[in-house]
Structure 1
């Protein structure tokens, strides 16, 4: 697989992936380096890097020889492999080829984990803490269908409203419907019926709350 000159469209795809780099790095913490390489023949280099201290690199650094070898393997997602950084760190890595709509390779997304990092420190980065130093757990339902997603969202919003002492009991259902409306939940099929059932009110009551919001 040979390098070639990338088009503006190719760079648009790569630039759109910069948030992916930051997202992966934030998920796995400071000992995981995430690198987005351009495969432009004029400048095959790092476009975006997060946690570059793992290999002492920054944007603009040249593509590595091993990354090029993984490209020639022909696998869009490599097997994980072990390597050494220039500073002697043991790294566990994986390389993914980024392709454009024509199937041409335009970049590489590489993840390098510092295996020499202290285990306690590495694990600590996997469990983000809130301002009180406690593990922060947010409810999330991995739904099998949209009804389950809608139902779980209604349940979460309802719990938040019930836990808010500043909202009087007589206004709680209205506040739940307002928040669900702001989230766009009522765009989904059956959402009004599901909300009415969970809140213990009639469908007409939910419609009334929605109409009142539309007239404001």
Structure 2
């Protein structure tokens, strides 16, 4: 786990005592500096000077989360940052208005998922002058969730089932796919090709691809296209002609699924 880091540039600036916005930025920078001592290393706190978008980042705690540094522009924000929606809102009628948006999902450029919050502050004229943002990296929590899932998945407790409580075919496919992903021990968003291929391999052994429509369901769960799943199956020995030794019988549903796709495309 990376060490906590706190960077403040605002405190070194000479300010005009009559500049209310600048004095508020000084206060907010001090708040971030204090919070930097208690937030976990996976949580980033940022203070932006919205009057200078090209070099807006003036206070920063745990910049390693998104890779930002003091002096970075406002556009260095995470992907899908909803904080920009606050800037697009109509100018408030009352003076000194603030707005916020919290608990939204964004992501880093390398695909890590973040839980984010943004507070935008406006001056007496209704113009934005400061923004405070928080981004929590969810990777460690997702890995922990996956690990716990592996521990509790093979439950030895007997389950009583009735005719009404038996899962239908769709639910069974969803459960099998979910269990295979949990056993992989890593969130789908962080999986590489080899890890996804391993999941597909496990699903072939469970006979999932013998069910019509399973390719599309697996593709959606792994965040890839159905053609990528077909490529994975071919790499595992299920070619289009359906002749793969002992695996030949299981290849037929894949071949049929491909024919169905081609007919629909025609």
TM range (shorter): 0.3 to 0.5
User: When the two structures are superposed, what TM-score results if normalisation uses the length of structure 1?
Assistant: 0.46
Larger CA Rg, structure 1 vs 2 = 2
User: When the two structures are superposed, what TM-score results if normalisation uses the length of structure 2?
Assistant: 0.38
